[in-house]
Amino acid sequence: MDRLAIVVPCYNEEEMLAITSLTLTTLLDELIQKNKIAKNSFVLFVNDGSKDRTWELIEQEHKKSSQIFGLKLAGNVGHQYALTAGLVVAKDMANVTISIDADLQDDISVIEEMIDKYHLGNDIIYGVRNKRKTDSFFKRTSAQLFYKFMRWMGVKTIYNHADFRLMSKRAVEYFSKFEETNLFLRGMMPLIGYKTDCVYYERKERVAGESKYPLRKMISLAINGITSFSVKPITFIFNIGILIIILCFASGIYALISHSMGNTVPGWTSLILSIWFIGGVQLLCVGLLGEYIGKIYIEVKKRPRYNIEAILGDLEEK
| Structural domain total, the chain | 2
The reported pLDDT for the residue numbered 225 is 60
Q: Are 14 and 51 in contact (CB under 8 A)?
A: no
In the predicted structure, residue 267 carries a pLDDT above the cut 70: no
The reported pLDDT for the residue numbered 317 is 44
Mean pLDDT of 240-269: 65
The reported pLDDT for the residue numbered 226 is 61
Q: Are 44 and 4 in contact (CB under 8 A)?
A: no
In the predicted structure, residue 305 carries a pLDDT above the cut 90: no
In the predicted structure, residue 265 carries a pLDDT above the cut 60: no
**Confidence tier at 3 by pLDDT (50, 70, 90):** very high
pTM of the model: 0.71
Q: Is residue 72 part of a domain?
A: yes
Same domain, 117 and 236: no
Same domain, 205 and 66: yes
Q: Are 82 and 43 in contact (CB under 8 A)?
A: no
Same domain, 151 and 289: no
Same domain, 254 and 283: yes
The reported pLDDT for the residue numbered 318 is 40
Of the candidates 163, 137, 159, the residue with the CA atom closest to the CA atom of residue 149: 159
Longest dimension (CA), the chain: 91
Q: Is residue 264 part of a domain?
A: yes
Q: Is residue 148 part of a domain?
A: yes
Q: Is residue 87 part of a domain?
A: yes
Lowest mean pLDDT among 45-49, 77-81, 161-165, 229-233: 229-233
Q: Is residue 61 part of a domain?
A: yes
Q: Is residue 226 part of a domain?
A: no
Q: Is residue 217 part of a domain?
A: no
Same domain, 294 and 313: no
Q: Is residue 21 part of a domain?
A: yes
**Between 309 and 265, where is the model more confident?**
309
Give the integer Cα–Cα distance in Å for 206 and 256.
Answer: 65
Same domain, 74 and 175: yes
Residue-number span of the structural domain to which 188 is assigned = 4-211+308-317
**Confidence tier at 268 by pLDDT (50, 70, 90):** very low
The reported pLDDT for the residue numbered 96 is 94
CATH number at residue 34: 3.90.550.10
Same domain, 172 and 71: yes
